[in-house]
Chains A and B, each alone.
Chain A
Amino acid sequence: MIAPEVFQLSEFDGHATALEGVVPEALRAHAEEAVRSCPERAISSVTPVGGKP
């Protein structure tokens, strides 16, 4: 898993879920790599209102 700090993996069925909340700046690079690596293109990132671009 590329960004284990940002996603939770279900032990039961193996599906990943994004943890709630804003991704801390320190984990930004990992999260963006996860977006770029997902073959299903199922992950996207959005900038929260008032957040840094």
Chain B
Amino acid sequence: MMDKSEKFALGVSSLLLAVFFLAIIYMQVIQNIDVPTCITDVEPFTTDTLFQVGEDEYELHMIARMWAFQPSSVTLPVGSTVHLYVTSIDIIHGFKIENKNVNLMAVPGAINYIPVTFEEEGEYFFACHEFCGAAHHAMAGRIIIADTDETQSAGGQP
């Protein structure tokens, strides 16, 4: 027969695991927070592009290379949802946007995807978080969310 204290420990542990599991389901389904997806069956793009795919929805193809992001500066209106596709044209890089749930690897030969919505105005810095060589520290850029209808992507070209 199981000891009373063991039953207590088992019960509390199981309850906590259930709470954690339900919290993750809530985050994924109700809050719609996605995890990055690796797309391997599409040929990686070699030019960066930004285009509108719907009302307040944009598709951004981001290229990482030694040692810059292309584009390095993107301007979008408040409330934009960006379908972000990231790849690399040389070695493995990282891509992380400050204060957002965006943390991707930029891998040559593969595309990583995540949707991200910018509800608040401001500048969101992004940077490479995978050490990639001598100028790794300079590999950064910014997404500017402004109260405007204009979109712009620039910079980072070799």
A and B found bound together: no
Interface residues, chain B, CB within 8 Å of chain A?
Answer: none
